[in-house]
Amino acid sequence: MQVGRCSRVTPRWCSSSATKLFLRDYAIELGLLMQLPQPYTSVEEARYPCILKSPTGEFGKDCFIVNSLDEVRKHAPQGLGERWILQELIYGCFEYSVTFLVDHGRLLEVLGTAYEYGSAAYVYPDVRKVGKAPFEVPAGQLAVMQAFLVEYSGVCNFNYKVREDGRMCIFEVNTRIGGDLACDVPRDRARRLFERLDTLTASGLGQGTAVEPSARGGEIVLRAGQRLPLVVDPLDGVHRFTLVYLHPFKSGLDDYIRKAECFRMAGLRIVMPWAPWRNISCFGGRRMLAWYDYLTDHGGLAEDGLDEATLADSRLRLSALLDAEAALLPHGAAGIFIGGCSQGCGMALDVAMNYSADLAGFVGVVGHRLSATAVGRHLELPLDFFHGAKDRVMRQSWVAPTIDALLAAGHVNLVVHKPLVGVPHVVSRAVE
């Protein structure tokens, strides 16, 4: 194995020696700054004790716990400048290290190691190690880390703690083989990663099989196939409700990931899965992110024909996701909302109408009921539809009858909101 070939594509946040500074800039761009320690721009505003560190230091070099402004000035007499970072001190005896093998943003191997230390406040390696053990990385944490890796291929390593409210606090991301992989990961797991890396570097990255969430025992676990969902945790750290929201045809989640903070609110966990890649018939079999295959393209003048087998496939996948989310809530499915935008709207309504239990509600943005979606079930489910006044793709001339069929079937809690003024079919994240 040639370790020097392990990093084939370099992300923007490690394009300089000031990696930790670029990591913070990238987190801001992704809307994931809350997953990093809080920075302090001046010694006066800091909450002590806190951490003073060099942006390029490793293994605890030039990293200190400081208890006062005077201690900061002792280590940094010229001020913070670009030489020092002053940030929040995260307490906790447990720290986590996760090594990935990544192929253009897809997670091929995931190896988690949990470390227990003899103090809740420390700078490694000046702390007693109590123990270590492999651990299964929760899907929500995987989704956060994968968001940082959309431009990356190779081996990398994340180090983080978990706050009391359940949010990650990422200390660093290393685009190299870390000590966990070198020494602590079970040898059979490490061997498998290196063998797979050898295969990839020999044949060219891009041929690997990624991982996909599926439901099992009330949690999301991994199987071969697809990228992990984006998870936006509640603003107040209290999980009362869940919204499962489906992205439009072709677009994926990249823009949602960048603007995730637009959606964060108290009490609500938001889960946004990726549609699978499908060969789209009406576009000559081109592979696109799609909840179902389109058989025809009427250019917005009428509902397009769809392949019901691919619709049923996504319905099954998403129902499994709802099962997993329901297991996390005290009132089960009654605490779950489902919705989506454009194709995601139609898919979400189809899942809601066919799901085994009553959900909390549905919200559809610039979409419609699919002709293939049966009506007459879950008649009291709240249904809210929002349309753009300038939408020329989902035209009201044919969209309205698909929704009227719901009213005719007895769906009593249906509201079609006034058209959104000036809004076309392609909506911004702010409008959503």
Q: Which amino acid, residue 142?
A: L
Non-local CB neighbours of 143 within 8 Å, separated by 6+ positions:
228, 229, 230, 231
DSSP 8-state class, residue 408: H
* Structural tokens at position 270: 């938001």
Q: Decide: 62 and 54 in contact? Cβ < 8 Å.
A: yes
What does each C-alpha distance from 169 to 32, 189, 207 come to in angstroms?
Answer: 10, 26, 32
List the one residue out of 255, 257, 293, 299 whose CA is nearest residue 277: 293
Non-local CB neighbours of 192 within 8 Å, separated by 6+ positions:
109
List the one residue out of 430, 428, 377 whose CA is nearest residue 406: 377
Cα–chain center distance at 64: 32
How many CB atoms within 10 Å of residue 375?
Answer: 17
List the one residue out of 354, 370, 339, 218 whose CA is nearest residue 271: 339
- Which pLDDT score, from 0 to 100, does residue 214 have? 35
- Which pLDDT score, from 0 to 100, does residue 20 have? 52
- Which pLDDT score, from 0 to 100, does residue 258 have? 80
- Which pLDDT score, from 0 to 100, does residue 57 have? 63
- What does the alpha-carbon distance between residue 311 and residue 43 come to, in Å, rounded to a whole number? 56
- What does the alpha-carbon distance between residue 179 and residue 97 come to, in Å, rounded to a whole number? 9
∠ CA 169-173-175 to the nearest 5 degrees? 170
Report the residue count for the chain. 432
Radius of gyration, CA atoms only, the chain:
24
Question: Measured on CA atoms in the order 33, 36, 42, 47, is the torsion positive or negative?
Answer: positive
Q: Decide: 231 and 260 in contact? Cβ < 8 Å.
A: no
DSSP 8-state class, residue 182: I
- Which pLDDT score, from 0 to 100, does residue 196 have? 87
Phi-psi region of 190 (alpha: psi -120 to 50; beta: other; left: phi over 0): alpha
* Structural tokens at position 413: 């809690």
Strands 414-416 and 383-386, sheet pairing? parallel
- What does the alpha-carbon distance between residue 212 and residue 229 come to, in Å, rounded to a whole number? 9
List the one residue out of 226, 313, 262 whose CA is nearest residue 34: 262
* Structural tokens at position 258: 């960048």
Q: Decide: 311 and 291 in contact? Cβ < 8 Å.
A: yes
- What does the alpha-carbon distance between residue 174 and residue 162 come to, in Å, rounded to a whole number? 19
∠ CA 79-83-87 to the nearest 5 degrees? 75
Q: What is the mean pLDDT of each run of 10 residues along the chain (432 residues)?
A: 41 47 72 85 92 76 91 92 90 95 87 94 90 87 84 89 88 86 90 86 48 34 53 88 96 84 89 92 94 95 94 92 89 96 97 96 95 94 93 90 95 90 79 74
Sheet holding 383-386, edge to edge: 230-232, 268-272, 241-246, 336-341, 361-365, 383-386, 414-416
Which pTM value belongs to this model? Answer: 0.55
Q: Decide: 327 and 351 in contact? Cβ < 8 Å.
A: no
Hey, which residues does 170 pair with through a beta bridge? Answer: 160
List the one residue out of 130, 18, 122 whose CA is nearest residue 63: 122
